[in-house]
A = this chain, B = another copy of it.
Amino acid sequence: MGVVAPQRFGSDAPLRLKSGVTLPAFELVYETYGTLNASRSNAVLVCHALSGNHHLAGVTADNPDEIGWWDNLIGPGKPLDTRRFFVVGVNNLGGCYGSTGPLSINPETGRRYGADFPLVLVEDWVQAQARLADHLGIETWAAVVGGSLGGMQALEWAMRFPDRLRHVIAIAATPKLTAQNIAFNEVARQAILSDTNFHGGHYAEYGVVPSNGLRLARMIGHITYLSDSQMGDKFGRQLSKGEYQFSYDVNFEVESYLRHQGSKFSAFFDANTYLTTTKALDYFDPAYDHDGDLSAALASARADFLIVSFTTDWRFSPARSREIVFALMKNRRRVSYANVDCDAGHDSFLLADPHYHAVLRAYFENIRL
């Protein structure tokens, strides 16, 4: 994909959020790949998950090592082929990669929002993404695609703007979190909220970051992204220094891996964004306003669907994807479903598993422009 430059879109129209709060204006950072065709029929929106952003593919001008998080999927000749599609990646509202969020300056105070940034939910992200689509002159997306929380945004698009997309590809997604999912998010939030550097979410004013809380949050999350079996294969009980150490230093390889992942993440991600994003996960529940009936919630959808799950995903298990499939079938939507046998747990959606990528490639090839 080569070097890709981020772009900015500013919306001056107020955005009323699901929480009731109105944002007077906002900015989104986005990237595009490929060329929008004359009929504007080849645009694909890719929605990101908890820790993702707008930089989907290629590298940044600043850093040739900063490869987009879905670079294995998106590019010339890749399953989401940028010779055919015009692909858009956007950092969501409340994000920490340049879009308006907790790190932005609150115009009312002249200081960073921090914890005063309102909670933004999946519905709000999709509203903001629709504004970006207007700006780009995209009336109808050929497809809206996402994995995990990104897949939940794709579902929301189908329900909220049924006439503005033709295909939904929701991968490793769920129609709502389970109590166990919420429990893991809650421990992660508690780790951040109780960090002495958190300062009620206004840590920026103190020149510190609650990096330890964020590190713990990421470690907890990371366990749920991997499968038990893959962790076993990858690390087993391998010892870093070949023998047991009677101390709390790193001893098992898996400890070293988790600490590394946690530290790396806490060095760049914003804690307030992490908090608000986990709440967006917890609160997503389109069936909630329909007495728990997901098919009623999806009744407004007009798109065709591809739903993909992974056999070893215990965070959002295949059964959760099948709930979506059944609700769509009840509405007589066209829906394809693949349960991919991949050992990498929830994180499988980020990998280039051959079966998985073949499914996506075939689906994209069959999208008429």
Contact, CB under 8 Å: B252 / A119 = no
Q: How far is the CB of A19 from chain B (nearest CB, A)?
A: 4
Best-buried of A19, A246, A252, A255 by chain B (most CB within 10 Å): A246
Question: For the complex, is A275 an interface residue (Cβ under 8 Å from B)?
Answer: yes
| Contact (Cβ within 8 A) B283 A186 | no
Q: A residues engaging B (CB < 8 A)?
A: 19-21, 118-119, 176-180, 182-184, 186-187, 189-191, 193-194, 196, 212, 215-216, 219-220, 223, 226, 228, 231-232, 234-237, 244, 246-248, 251-255, 258-259, 262, 275, 279, 282-283, 285
Shortest CB distance A257–B (Å): 8
Q: How far does the Cβ of A104 sit from chain B's closest Cβ, in whole Å?
A: 19
A282 contacts B252, C-beta separation under 8 Å: yes
Q: Given the known inter-chain contacts A183-B254, A220-B220, A231-B183, please indicate yes or no for A176 contacting B237, CB distance below 8 A.
A: yes
Asked if B179 and A231 sit within 8 Å, CB to CB, the answer is yes
Write out the residue numbers on chain B whose beta carbons fall within 8 Å of the beta carbon of A279.
246, 248
Q: A258 to chain B: which residues have CB within 8 Å? A: 183, 186-187
**Contact B194 A237, beta carbon cutoff 8 Å:** no
- Which of B194, B237, B275 is close to A179, meaning CB atoms less than 8 Å apart? B237
Residues of B within 8 A of A253 (CB): 179
Q: Do residues A180 and B248 form an inter-chain contact, with CB atoms below 8 A?
A: no
From A222, which residue of chain B is reached at the shortest CB distance? B183
Which residue of chain B lies nearest to A247 when distances are taken between CB atoms in the complex?
B119
Nearest CB in chain B to that of A178: its residue? B232
Write out the residue numbers on chain B whose beta carbons fall within 8 Å of the beta carbon of A183.
219, 223, 231, 254-255, 258
Given the complex of chains A and B, what is the CA–CA distance between A275 and B193 in angstroms?
23
Residue pair A177, B237 in contact (C-beta under 8 Å):
yes
Question: Would A191 and B216 count as touching, CB distance under 8 A?
Answer: yes
In the complex, what distance in Å separates the CA atom of A251 from the CA atom of B179?
12
A179 near B232 with CB under 8 A, answer yes
From the candidates B20, B119, B216, B236, name the one contacting A190 in the complex (CB within 8 A). Answer: B216
Asked whether A216 lies within 8 Å of B232 as measured between CB atoms, the reply is no
Q: Is the CB of B178 within 8 A of A244?
A: no
